[in-house]
């Protein structure tokens, strides 16, 4: 399971995210510099133990009108070939040295573990505690999920979020994983006639909510 190192990271994740957010098609704020504040998330384990996988939620803005953004990230000890456009930035880790931090929706290791989570083969981990499962994260898939790795076909960023098309062993058609970048408690709730086959649901703390948590879909799944 993932080990959380209590050490420094320079620049910090929030500093890197602050520079990266305004470059995204789904960023909803105005021209003022973002001030992202971590407000939720969880982790997944890389079976090979090489890549850190984190789903971070940050709020940006003041009060209840502040947006909550989903930022899935992977942490690597060397650059990921062909993923230059997905690089959030590099940072110096106090224990592990230079880390290349990527938008995880573009990283096949994260996408593969999301499919494993949907299939019931991966266990969500608490964001800030080593070796601790997070029971608040739920995942489901209404179609068979056979053993085998998911193959990423393409990734599309747009105002509604990030769509990742995958091919899974034994499936007649690809599946599309939608990463909901601007989180809403309503996202993915109404599945009747919507074509939603499942997804990953988790919590976050909205700005100005005085400790109350919100819950909604981080990821939804549709048949391509």
Give per-residue pLDDT as tens, 117-134: 999 999 999 998 888 999
Range of the domain at 76: 9-223
Mean pLDDT across 129-157: 89
Cβ atoms 143, 131 nearer than 8 A: no
Give CA separation, 216 vs 111, 138, 164, 193, in Å: 19, 10, 19, 19
Structural domains of the chain, count: 1
**Whole-prediction pTM value?**
0.92
More confident residue, 131 or 197: 197
Q: Check residue 146 and give its pLDDT.
A: 67
Q: Count how many Cα atoms sit within 13 Å of the Cα of residue 152 in the half-sphere of its side chain.
A: 18
Residue 95 falls within a domain, yes or no?
Answer: yes
Percent of the chain predicted with pLDDT > 90: 67
Residue 2 falls within a domain, yes or no?
Answer: no
Q: Check residue 129 and give its pLDDT.
A: 87
Coil vs helix vs strand at 93:
strand
CA-based Rg of the chain, rounded to a whole angstrom? 17
Instruction: Report how far residue 177's alpha carbon sits from residue 155's, in angstroms, rounded to the nearest whole number.
Output: 9
Given a cut of 60, whether residue 36 has pLDDT beyond it is: yes
**In the numeric block, which tokens belong to residue 147?**
């053993």
Residue 56 falls within a domain, yes or no?
Answer: yes
Cβ atoms 218, 134 nearer than 8 A: no
Given a cut of 70, whether residue 104 has pLDDT beyond it is: yes
Residue 105 falls within a domain, yes or no?
Answer: yes
């Amino acid at each position: 399971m993932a080990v959380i190192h209590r050490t420094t990271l320079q620049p910090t994740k929030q500093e890197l995210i602050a520079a990266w957010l305004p470059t995204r098609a789904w960023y909803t704020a105005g021209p003022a510099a973002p001030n992202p504040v971590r407000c939720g998330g969880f982790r997944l384990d890389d079976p090979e133990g090489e890549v850190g996988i984190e789903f971070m939620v940050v709020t940006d803005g003041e009060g209840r009108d502040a947006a909550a953004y989903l930022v899935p990230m992977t942490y690597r000890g060397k650059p990921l070939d062909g993923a230059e456009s997905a690089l959030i930035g590099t940072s110096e880790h106090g224990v592990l040295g230079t880390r290349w931090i990527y938008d995880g929706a573009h990283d096949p290791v994260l996408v593969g573990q999301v499919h494993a989570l949907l299939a019931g083969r991966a266990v969500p981990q608490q964001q800030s505690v080593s070796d601790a499962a997070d029971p608040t994260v739920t995942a489901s898939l209404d179609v068979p999920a056979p053993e085998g790795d998911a193959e990423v076909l393409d990734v599309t960023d747009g105002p509604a979020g990030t769509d990742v098309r995958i091919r899974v062993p034994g499936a007649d058609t690809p599946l599309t994983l939608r990463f909901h970048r601007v989180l809403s408690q309503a996202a993915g709730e109404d599945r009747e006639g919507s074509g939603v086959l499942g997804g990953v649901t988790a919590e976050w703390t909205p700005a100005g909510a005085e400790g109350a948590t919100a819950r909604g879909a981080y990821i939804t799944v549709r048949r391509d």
